[in-house]
Structure 1
Amino acid sequence: MKNNYEKVINEVIASKEKVYEDFKKSGCKNFCEFIKKDVTDIKKDMPIDKKAA
Structure 2
Amino acid sequence: MRPRKDNDIILVPYNPGRHWVLTVLDMKTNTCYYLDSTRNSISNPVLRQNIES
Higher relative contact order (CA 8 A, sep 6+): 1
Superposition TM-score, scaled by structure 2 size: 0.28
Q: Which one has a larger percent helix, Structure 1 or Structure 2?
A: 1
